[in-house]
Structure 1
Amino acid sequence: MARPRAFDEKQVLDAVREQFWDGGYAATSTEDLMRVSGLGKGSLYAAFGSKRQLFLRALHSYTDDAHGHLRKALAEAPRAVDALRMLLEAPIGEGARRGCLMANSTSELGNADPEVLRHAHRTYETSTTLIADCVTRAQREGDVPAGADPITLARALLAAQQGIVFMSRTGLDTATLTSTARSLAAQLLPDHSGG
């Protein structure tokens, strides 16, 4: 009879996700994973498979969480255009220098690992759809021109946001990043309210 697992799977996944996020895939050793998870090698790999399988599970949990946060942030803003502007400033602040785990992983592994590349594509398509839905709401609210294509604008906003993420990794100061994000917002989401 198999013994029940004596650890919290989500807690372990969160811990290894943080390790991969800080160190990257290649630089993260089995010893690092054992240290942050508190599990021995046998238990870790019996539960999650290989280092690559564990990484993919952690990456999927990251993108699931990120999409949950994005959905909530876009839906809860009183006006959709404010949510879209906030999207550009979201990568600024404490912890921003870590970048985005999905973008970091795609840069590190995308050319060598087709599964990571496929997951990145699905992730950005899901993000684009969520943002496009918010653009459509902003159009209904009269803050974005009705003739704008929601998908095209969503892709432009996502590309701008990822540019801010990258710039934050270079060590640019918060004031410069904020000014850049606001300039992008003014160009991509000009004020059409007449106010």
Structure 2
Amino acid sequence: MARPRKFDEQGVLRDVRDQFWAVGYEATSLDDLTRVSGLGRGSLYGAFGDKHKLFMRTLDDYVTDSCAGMRQSLDESERAIDGLRGFLMSGAGSLRQGCYLANSTTELAATDVEVAERARQAYEGIVGMVADAVKRAQREGDLPDGLDAVAFARTLQTAQQGLVYMGRSGLPAERLAGVAQDLADRLLSAR
């Protein structure tokens, strides 16, 4: 009979994710994973599988949590246009660390089919959420009725991810915030 686990699974996943996030998948060794998790190799692999499965679990958890937070932020905005501005401006907040999904996509999607597919699904899910907010902003009179909500959501997502990328490159925070504000003013100005 298997022994019950005696560790905080979510805490281990968070610590492992932070290791991958800090240096990337390829640069993270098994020794790094055992160090940050506090688990031995056998326990780590017994609980989560190999390095790739562990990485995919952290990526899936990150996407789930991030999308839930994004959905809540968009849905709870008093006006949809404010939620869309917040979404766009959030790209200026990650700076050097970047976005775990974006970093993982950049590092692995060209060579890892599973990462590429998960990233595509995640980004399409984000586009769907943003498109819903665009439609709401149209109903509220803050965006033109004739605007293609899905196409515009992709534009906003691309702009937001561009801000993430520029923050990762070392652009100073105040300059990045200025670019984000300029994008918000140009793309999401009141009618």
Please tell me the TM-score bracket, short chain as reference: over 0.9
Q: Determine the structure 2 residue equivalent to 1:109.
A: 108
Partner of 1:89: 89
Q: Secondary structure at the match of 1:191?
A: coil
Other-structure match for 1:26? 26
Give the alignment of 1:9-88 within 5 angstroms. Answer: 9-88=9-88
Range with bigger deviation, 40-49 or 8-17? 8-17
Check if 1:2 corresponds to 2:2: yes
Normalised TM-score (structure 1) = 0.95
The whole-number CA distance in structure 1 between the counterparts of 2:95 and 2:167 is 6
Deviations along 1:39-76, whole A, 9 cap, x unmatched?
A: 00000001111000000001000100110110111011
Name the residue aligned to 1:99: 98
Equivalenced residue count is: 191
- Please state if 1:128 is matched with 2:142: no
Alpha-carbon distance in structure 1 between the residues aligned to 2:127 and 2:92: 20
2:31 aligned partner, one-letter code: E
Aligned residue in 2 for 1:189:
188
TM-aligned CA deviation for residue 91 of structure 1: 2.6
Gaps of 5+ in 2: none
SS in 2 for 1:83: helix
- TM normalised by structure 2 equals 0.97
Q: Percent identity?
A: 51
The one-letter amino acid paired with 2:109 is G
Residue identity in the other structure for 1:119: R
Equivalent residue number for residue 155 of structure 1: 154
CA distance in 2, matches of 1:69, 1:90: 12
Q: Residues 157-188 of structure 1, C-alpha deviation per residue, up to 9 Å, x if partnerless?
A: 00000000000011111221111111111221
Which is worse superposed, 174-183 or 66-75? 174-183
Aligned structure 1 segments of 4 or more residues deviating by more than 2 angstroms: none
| Structure 1, unpaired ranges of 5+ | none
Hey, what does 1:173 align to over in structure 2?
A: 172
- Give the SS at the match of 1:84: helix
CA offsets 1:103-129 (integer angstroms, 9 cap, x no match): 111111111100000000000000000
Q: How far, CA to CA, are the matches of 2:78 and 2:173 in structure 1?
A: 26
